Structure 1
């Protein structure tokens, strides 16, 4: 049963109702001496409270995230990584993985939302993570057999999961509709693991000495792995990055620090300063990973364009967006996107896709 599916949420509601009914019916019917009766009543009360907490957590996860897309994501089971395919990319007789799609050095398995998924180890960062790749229909069209495609890297929040882009965010469905309307060009979308330390410790989208090289994984390894396995256009002018929440901060931070990799970045409800304790405890590292400070103090700013989106009901996301755009000396196609209503929600970020994807498409041609 899916962690984020309606059946599981309804099961938690039924569990709460059953626990509450049991509390009311059995309160005065617990047998035994006084201590045992009060122990039983306490257990019934705790059970009902536990049921209520579980239901609320599932509701929050489904409506505001999902922060955890699957049971494996919740319990930290990310699987094992594999960089090379010793079979030469051919399924072996008797293999359990007969549905794998082979591209270059990685083995991709079908995922929902039209995406495929593979595990990888970053050669530069040594980070173990997943890649979820969505290919436009044109990729398999013989008429496009010699065509290379631009790429957009998609980043989730913290806690969060790259699967969300093809689940609740439904980015593949949105891309298909926008291509049919002629509003976007065919692009490859790739959502890599952002939370390389799991969903309990924020790695902060930074290279942290002795801990993890998240920035290297996202800005060097992921582009290299995607380019090695798919027909991608080369050069930063054909690559963009987009994220929501912590991933939005990360998208801008990567574009600012790796303008030779990403030319365009989209921030959906992002912020400008690092918030991860592993980063903020080191003042120099925190300053180096503050895109606002980096841009403001740069003698020559990187050649990047930014789409900054925020909601007036979502803290200071609009103020942060305005501040960041305000320090750009040559804003070019950079834009501010705001809405009056909506909090820090997947529904808000999804509603921005019809604007964000065409903007990205125009920047990475």
Structure 2
């Protein structure tokens, strides 16, 4: 049974309830004096709390998909050998596998589109990262055989996995439905996590002597995708969006690289690079690099390009309301900014699922095909 299965979660919840009931029933017996009674009380309390902790942990993992399997949780996951499909891949993108999209007719690419599992090799950064590429149905239709498509890079948060974007946030299904309803143009989605040097959270920074994460996303990824798929190569053809850490990275990439990305959307984003145990020393004393990673500082001190920005927050439940208002106030022409402010909504998948459809519509309106 898989780590994220309903059976495992249900079993853990039932066990916690049963142990609680047994503790209540047997407590009068265990209330007596003596070492055996004391050990019994300690054992029942520990067992009940452990079962409750496991149930809550499994529920959180199922919702946020921090770990996809028992092997992933226990650190036993090892990178498998990669079978490269040269007919579908390129020098810098290896296609590992394909899957259908969970929509009506999803088994046929020309009807439901296709999701390709790939590994992207960055020439300048030296980083290789797994990703999912969603190709819309039009990509496989004869009428679009000579067409090039706009691209949206979609980033999850930290420490999430790219599977979050497929299962938890359902980006391909949402993009498919919006395009079918005529609310967006067909777009290619390149979905991955910002943690391209796991387990370190590099905050999309070029770390001195370490992972060159910003270079990977700003230069290597667009170059690799452009040579592999029928997509546009100009800034007007590319956007980037994400949630939480991915949202911070999306805004930073669009702000620092308007020649690469015409639009950046940050869902529940924060506005300066985190520095903690998960990041390590990102700047090695380089104060200029630290200031540059602060988006509010960058807006106030660096020349703003023609990128468009979308930021989201809520009046109750998010901690980024003030930062979001400050970001909006600092954007100047030729840049443009839009926002989504919910009445309430926490830093979670439910909130982001409410924001993704309008964010994709906004993104579609700012990108060009071909």
TM-score band (shorter)? 0.7 to 0.9
When residues 73 and 311 of structure 1 are mapped into structure 2, their CA distance, relative to the original with a 3 A threshold, is: farther
Aligned residues: 346
Q: Deviations over 1:46-79 (max 9, x none)?
A: 222111111112223334x333344455445362
Instruction: Name stretches of at least 5 consecutive residues in structure 1 with no aligned partner.
Output: 91-101
Residue 301 of structure 1 pairs with residue 304 of structure 2: yes
Counterpart of 1:123 in structure 2 is 123
Counterpart of 1:99 in structure 2 is none
Counterpart of 1:224 in structure 2 is 223
Matches within 5 A, 1:25-174: 34-35=34-35, 38-63=38-63, 65-71=64-70, 73-75=72-74, 77=77, 79-80=79-80, 85=84, 89=86, 102-105=88-91, 106-111=94-99, 113=101, 114-174=114-174
Counterpart of 2:104 in structure 1 is none
- Structure 1 residue 318: Cα displacement: 2.6
Separation (CA, whole Å) in 2 of partners of 1:144 and 1:73: 40
Separation (CA, whole Å) in 1 of partners of 2:74 and 2:218: 27
- Structure 1 residue 111: Cα displacement: 4.3
Separation (CA, whole Å) in 1 of partners of 2:129 and 2:313: 29
Matches within 5 A, 1:195-210: 195-199=195-199, 201-210=200-209
- Structure 1 residue 314: Cα displacement: 3.0
| CA RMSD of superposed structures (Å) | 2.6
Separation (CA, whole Å) in 1 of partners of 2:195 and 2:275: 11
Counterpart of 1:263 in structure 2 is 262
Q: Deviations over 1:261-309 (max 9, x none)?
A: 11100010111111133337744432121121112101x2122110111
Any idea what SS the aligned residue of 1:61 has?
Answer: helix
Q: TM-score, normalised by structure 2?
A: 0.84
Separation (CA, whole Å) in 1 of partners of 2:223 and 2:78: 21
Counterpart of 1:94 in structure 2 is none
Separation (CA, whole Å) in 2 of partners of 1:115 and 1:337: 29
Separation (CA, whole Å) in 1 of partners of 2:78 and 2:155: 17
- Structure 1 residue 171: Cα displacement: 1.0
Residue 211 of structure 1 pairs with residue 199 of structure 2: no
Counterpart of 1:95 in structure 2 is none
- Structure 1 residue 352: Cα displacement: 1.1
